[in-house]
Amino acid sequence: MKISSIVLFIIKTLAWTNYASSVSGSFVITSSKHIKRVDALLNSNDNHYIMGKCKEGTIIIKLSREIKITGVEIRNFEWLSSFVKRLKLSVWSDKCFKEIAIYNCKQTREKIFIPIQTQLFSAILKIDFKSFSGRHDFFTLNTLKVYGITMIEDYVWMNSHEKYNKNLYDEFNTKISMLEQSKNDHLELLKIKKTLVIVETVIVILFAIIIAQFGLLFYFKAA
């Protein structure tokens, strides 16, 4: 395995590190008053959960590292509660919160993965709960996981990726050049063959004319 392949493998593995875990140093900065037990969201124990009234609320979390977020995962295991239907994700950058995603969640107890596409690096994530689904007055949430890559990982990834693309591009160009050369050689060969056919045809015609002339000459002499 090449070094670049090993580097890419390591970065892909690191990209699935949960940066919203209390074990790795993440913590809740602040939250809306009606949302209770918010620290449970950063706990790996699925039996713990946050609970809040079904009205707009906010949680601001300090991640364990400054990262470019690539995905957020949430899950609700509880039965006697409503679900988060719509939420907004923002990160702190340039002295203000900047939106990176608005997501409509399904009413399910399975994992919900929210893919994120952003170029912003931040260590602070803001979650705004916008709307809810269900017949209960309170909502719950058991799991929050935040995935991403650090600046160093992103730099290594981009360099390795660009180098890989460059090698792939060079290889592609080489193959195209070889095909074009092969095509040109083939066309040149066809031209030579056509020329030979024409020359052979001319020789046959000239030979036929010469034979005809000799035939006529002998005919007139005999006459």
Do 80 and 23 have their domain in common? Answer: yes
Res. 3 pLDDT band, cuts 50 70 90: very low
Reported as a single tens digit per residue, the pLDDT across 154-206 is: 877 777 655 555 555 555 556 556 655 665 666 666 777 777 777 677 777 77
Do 99 and 202 have their domain in common? Answer: no
Do 84 and 194 have their domain in common? Answer: no
Instruction: Compute the distance between CA of residue 69 and CA of residue 76 in angstroms, rounded to an integer.
Output: 21
pTM above 0.85, yes or no: no
Res. 1 pLDDT band, cuts 50 70 90: very low
Q: What is the pLDDT of residue 194?
A: 74
Could you please report the per-residue DSSP string of 33-73? Answer: TTEE-GGGGG-S-TT--EEEESS-EEEEEEEEEEEEEEEEE
Identify which has the larger pLDDT, 155 or 103.
103
Do 136 and 84 have their domain in common? Answer: yes
Do 112 and 197 have their domain in common? Answer: no
CATH of the domain at 121: 2.60.120.260
Residue 73 contacts residue 112 (beta carbons within 8 Å): yes
Q: Is residue 106 part of a domain?
A: yes
Q: Is residue 193 part of a domain?
A: yes
Do 119 and 29 have their domain in common? Answer: yes
Q: Is residue 116 part of a domain?
A: yes
Q: What is the pLDDT of residue 10?
A: 52
For the segment 2-28, the average pLDDT, to the nearest whole number, is 70
- Would the pLDDT of 72 be above 80? yes
Tell me how many domains the chain contains: 2
Longest CA span, the chain: 131
Do 26 and 103 have their domain in common? Answer: yes
Do 24 and 87 have their domain in common? Answer: yes
Which two structure tokens, joined as six digits, stand for 104?
Answer: 């409509």
Q: Is residue 174 part of a domain?
A: no
Instruction: Compute the distance between CA of residue 167 and CA of residue 148 in angstroms, rounded to an integer.
Output: 27
Residue 146 contacts residue 90 (beta carbons within 8 Å): no
Closest CA to 60 of 86, 15, 96, 84: 96
- Domain membership of residue 201 as a residue range: 187-222
Q: What is the pLDDT of residue 160?
A: 63
